[in-house]
Each structure stands twice: as structure tokens, then as C-alpha cells.
Structure 1
Amino acid sequence: MANKHLNETAVQPYSGHDAKLEFPFTSDAGFKRAMKDEEICKQVISAFTGLAVESIKSISSEYSLSPVLGGRGIRLDVLVQADGRLVNVEMQRADPGEIARRMRYYQAVADTHTVGKGSPYAKLVEHIIVFACTFDPLGCGIPRYTFRMQAEEAPEAPFDPGFAWILLNSSAWAKEQNSSLRRLLRYMDSGTAEGELCRRIDAVLLDAHEDGLWKEGVREMMTVEQRIDWAEHVGEKRGLEKGMAEAAAMYRWLSEGGRTDELMRSFSDPELQQRLLDEFNAVKQKG
């Protein structure tokens, strides 16, 4: 079925879409919704990795992996099988800390699931991990960091373990030379939908936001931390001094105080939320 928003957004790029969209591309829900579209997924992967993606075998979101019984599992934002390789893309709107160790662990856990017992190591498929960040994860002011293994003493020595890690920094989009990646990073940073890919993502998300059941389902499935992040983000983007921004501060206060049960109930109980907000404001005034 044709997307009714595609022609509208193709007229000219517009900025500030975060003020329109409750769940933009950089949000957990918006990113996963857009990446379900195979053509969008293919072009996003191509822009993020610099590889020409010919075909996609599967797209999985919220993909859970566990290394061993009792070990720490991981949940991947989006895992794509494309052209015989695995590409894991994580959208990061806040700095989770220890990002290098996190990428290492994701790589290790995923590898244990790509070969069976007794299989040769040659069966390990090429694996690329991308963390698409709305901030500069390493503070060097560049839009893209690519990591591959090599010998310090002989960088030219042939040594290819079959993986690469990529960190993207949308705040430095203007420095990116590749036009496809530059437009996508700019879209992440400001919501300016320039170019066919960004306009297509916009159209998909605008369509999704007209689906009340989808939005309600997203809200219900959000974890406490996701709700806090969402409330803070919406409050910041819309310039609210109260409302969402104030609620976000209260959510974090309750979460840090171990009052998660009250916090969760307040999401569907306006009266409880108001009582908790009054309590929070009273404590804040005393402090």
C-alpha cells in the first residue's frame, strides 16, 4: 500500500520533527519501526557501514541472546542478515558508559550463536556492530569511528578476524564527506529530512504516529528507564519547563528511591501521578 506521507515530505525537507513525533527515528520505538521496512533497512545499513547491501535475508528487532545458562544475556536493537554477514545496529541517545567493553561483549555473545559444537572457525560469519549515537562517544569531534584489528608492529600484515565496530556521532554530521551518511546523521541530529532515504523514514514514522494503537502499545511496553529517557527527551525538545520535563525528573527521583512499583502505577493513574508530583515538588523545595 502506498504511503500517503511520502509525497508530502518529498516536496522539501523540514526540520524539528521531534516536536511533531512522539517517537522519532532516534527513539527505540521509532528506530525499530523504520527498520522493519526492508528498503529503509538496506539503505541505512549501507550508509552506516559504507558497504553496498544487495539483499537482506532477515531483520530482527529486540533480539535476545544468552551466552550460557546463568550468563548475562543481551538484547539487540536490530540484527540484520545481509549478503552473508551479520549487522547489529544499536541506536544510542544517551551515553551508556563502557561502550567499548559493551561492544566486545555483544561481539562475543553473538559469535557463540553463529557456530555449532565442533564446527570449524571458518563458519564464523562476518559481523559488524554499529552504535549510532546522537552524541560524541569518544570526544574527538568526528562523525564516524571505525575499529578493526591489526598488528601494532606491522599494520600491513594480513589479519582479518571478520568483524568491525563502528561508532557514529550525529552531532558532527556536517564534517561527514559521504553525502548519504551526512544526510542520515543530520536527520538523527535535527530531524531535517533531506534526501530520499530520510524522507522515506519520515513518511513511515508519520504514518505510524497516526496509528493510535501502535503508540499506545509502545507506551505500554516501555521500561522504566525508557519512559524516563522518553519524558526527558520530549520535554527538552519541546522546551517545556513543566509537564513532561517535570514528570521526567519525578520519575528518576522515584526510580532512584526504589519506588518502582508506584512509578509504574502512576503511568496509568493520573491521580497517583499528581500526588507523587506534589510530593516530589515539596521535597525539592525543602532540599
Structure 2
Amino acid sequence: MSYAFKSVDELTFTDDFMFGTIMKNPKICKEVIERLLHIAVGKIEYPSLQKTIAPFYESKGIRLDVYAADNERIFDIEMQTSVPPALAKRTRYYQSLMDVDNLLAGHSYDKLKESYIMFICMSDPFKQNLPVYTFRNICIEDKALFLADKSFKIFYNASAYNREKDSELHAFLEYLCKKRVTSNLTKDIDKLVQAAKLNEEFRSIYMSLNIREYDLRKQGEAIGFDKGRQAGLTEGLHQGARQKSLETARLMRLENLGIGLISKITGLSEEEIANL
């Protein structure tokens, strides 16, 4: 079986690695959030990419595409080239773990920040041809009564950009869907995308990621026929993948790459990498 990966020159802002790279820029991240939510955002903490939240050893952890916060709010931005399964329940679980992560032990509930989970979808997640779907908890008996839990789940449908009346959001969704630059924000994003494609470090890291994913897929393919030993082989695959990540991290440290960048690429914690 052959595996097809996009070349660097084929990447666009909607591709996972490019999206994360561009959204590392605090100015761009802040402006994207402001366009999506139509609000002014304070100075955001440096965006955290592929942030992992796994509060309990046996619980299912999550990995957020882009996690950012200002003094009063937290934001999770997910780019989806296809609509993932169980989308609604996925956001419910994301919300719960973000709250656990946000509230320090011993703090009262009123310390929870206002939270926004935003899924940017290239196709329509709810088939109603709306450019934006915003969900909040409301009272069934009195639709004007909102539960003031300060949580929002918002889904964007880039394919319906022509139905978006706000000009800035229209331009952003159009850029995602058609790659047309029609606003200052999309102009800035597109410049960064083109610059990244010419950056040797970006190209090298992207190729390393593809090689690592290819190796993991081949390992999975090699053992996939033996269902009777699935549990043991899965653990073996996990250990093999971890060893491969450790080896990759060691090589990257020799190249003097930053610990944060190595963590993003390999999935290892910064502490593990620092101890190599």
C-alpha cells in the first residue's frame, strides 16, 4: 500500500501543520479570534499548539489544535478539512476537560474563565447552509433565558462564505474555501503561508513529520492481520512509536531545535525532551 502526502508547495492554511505554524503568531491568532467572534480580545498568552489535556491516567485525553487565552477567556480553535465523527459529543468532552484544566485545585467555580470552542469546517457540519452555528445552553421553557455558564460552542462552515454578512468574516471564510485574498488579515496570512513554504527549517520539519507518520502506518499495517493478539501488539506498537519519537527528539536536539518545537513534532513532553 502506498501513502500519499502533500508536498510542501501544495500546503495551504487549512492544512494542519501550516495552520499550526501560522497560528503560532500571536498577532495573527488574536486577529483570527476577533474575526471569528466579533469581539475585542485582550493580549493573548502565547498560543499553545497541539495542547494535550489528559487529567487522569486512564481517561481519554485530547489534543487541541490551537489553545489561547486572555485575562478573561480561553479559546480552542480546531481546523477540520472534513467533519469528524460524533462532532457534538466531541465538543462536549473538549469543554469538560478544558474546564478541568482551567480550574486549579481549591479554586471556586466562579474562577472558571469564559470559554469558546471553535470548529472551522470546510464543509457544512449541520447541513443547514449557514456560515456560522453558535450553541449556548438555554432554557427549553423560556427561550430567552440563558444558562450563564459562559461557555460557547461555535462551528464555521467555510463553504457558505457567500451567506456571511460580516465583511471581515466573509473574507476569512472565502480565503479558506477559495484561497482568494480579499482583506488585510487574509493578505497577512497568505504572506506567512508563502514565506513558510520557502523556509528550510519548516520544510525539513514537515518532511520529518511525514516520515514519522509513514513509519507508524507501516508498523500498523504489518501487524493489522493478527486480530487475536491485538491488545499485546497495540502496546508493542505504542512502545515502538515512543522509541521512534525519542530517537527523533535526540536528533532534533543535536540540530539545536527548540524544546517546544520538538515537543509539538514528536508528541513528547518538554520535560522528557529536556532530560534526553
CA apart distance, 1:97? 1.0
Give unmatched runs, 5+ long, in structure 2. 1-5, 226-236, 242-276
May I ask how many residue pairs the two structures share in their alignment? 221
Instruction: Provide the residue aligned with 2:199 in structure 1.
Output: 211
Instruction: Provide the residue aligned with 1:155 in structure 2.
Output: 143
Instruction: Provide the residue aligned with 1:34 in structure 2.
Output: 22
Which of these residues, 55, 59, 69, is aligned with residue 57 of structure 2? 69
| AA at the equivalent of 1:55 | K
Correspondence 1:258 to 2:258: no
CA apart distance, 1:255? 5.3
Query: C-alpha separation between the residues in 1 aligned to 2:222 and 2:117?
Result: 31
CA contact (8 A) 2:181 2:187 kept: yes
Give unmatched runs, 5+ long, in structure 1. 1-17, 228-250, 265-287
94-103 or 110-119: which moved more?
A: 110-119
Q: Structure 2 length normalisation: TM-score?
A: 0.73
Kindly provide the CA deviation profile for residues 223-270 of structure 1, in whole angstroms up to 9, marking residues without a partner as x: 88x87xxxxxxxxxxxxxxxxxxxxxxx89x959938x9xx9xxxxxx
Q: CA distance change for structure 1 residues 257 and 207 in 2, over 3 Å: closer, same or farther?
A: same
Q: Which residues in structure 2 correspond to 1:189-268 (within 5 Å)? A: 189-222=177-210, 258=224
CA contact (8 A) 2:8 2:203 kept: no
Instruction: Provide the residue aligned with 1:180 in structure 2.
Output: 168
CA contact (8 A) 2:34 2:41 kept: yes
| AA at the equivalent of 2:144 | E
CA contact (8 A) 1:61 1:79 kept: yes
User: Percent identity between the aligned chains?
Assistant: 30
CA apart distance, 1:202? 0.6
Correspondence 1:114 to 2:80: no
CA contact (8 A) 1:58 1:82 kept: no
SS at match of 1:177: coil
| More RCO (CA 8 Å, sep 6+) | 1
Q: Structure 1 length normalisation: TM-score?
A: 0.70
Query: C-alpha separation between the residues in 2 aligned to 1:101 and 1:148?
Result: 14
CA apart distance, 1:19? 10
CA apart distance, 1:177? 0.4
CA contact (8 A) 1:133 1:167 kept: yes
Correspondence 1:94 to 2:94: no
Instruction: Provide the residue aligned with 1:123 in structure 2.
Output: 111
| AA at the equivalent of 2:53 | L
